[in-house]
Chain A
């Protein structure tokens, strides 16, 4: 069974802090994704990666960066957290072809 693990369930950070959200998957998936989920806006893709050290911008990359140094790990970085980045962050992974997205349980980030 695929497992996508996000290191923190809840995080509270201050405006201007650098924030790291970590995600690990255990199924050797090539593709990994970061979404944010907000009421009334649904899931929006921030960044994705289809291979180690590769990254592509999603629909809302501004204010975020990512790192993928190992196949199983995909990190989302908020260089200088702002209050409008308060959200639920979901990591997902998928293999090649038609395999479905497998999501982690999310990190609820609050920026004060």
Chain B
């Protein structure tokens, strides 16, 4: 079993829909949770970063962490075609230690007009 599980999709939604992307994990030591967005033929870029449980909002994006269930989510409101990308979750037991990051396999999202 992988430490981090992520549905690969593809997930196709109409423009304006609310999107929910999820990851589950098995390592209870994970404390720091990130979402990266990767456009086609590009490297991943950091989208959201949260510590421990709770919610964090940034514009149309909300990251949610439920440590008791070992489950994290990324919500995208009013989705746009420009949101079409692969979304990778990543998590780490320690801050400032990128070498300890564990990535999910990514969910491919397609937002259609």
Q: Which residues of A contact B (CB under 8 A)?
A: 4, 9, 31, 33, 39-45, 48, 56, 58, 90, 92, 94, 96-98, 100-106
Contact = CB atoms under 8 A, between A and B. Distances in A.
Given A43-B88, A92-B98, A104 B106 contact: no
Interface residues of B, number: 21
B44 A103 contact: yes
A43 B103 contact: yes
A59 to B, nearest CB: 9
B113 to A, nearest CB: 27
Interface of B: 4, 6, 8, 34, 41-46, 49, 88, 95-96, 98-99, 101, 103-106
A31 B54 CA distance: 29
B23 to A, nearest CB: 11
A56 B4 CA distance: 23
Given A40-B105, A42-B106, A98 B88 contact: no
Given A4-B43, A92-B43, A100 B8 contact: no
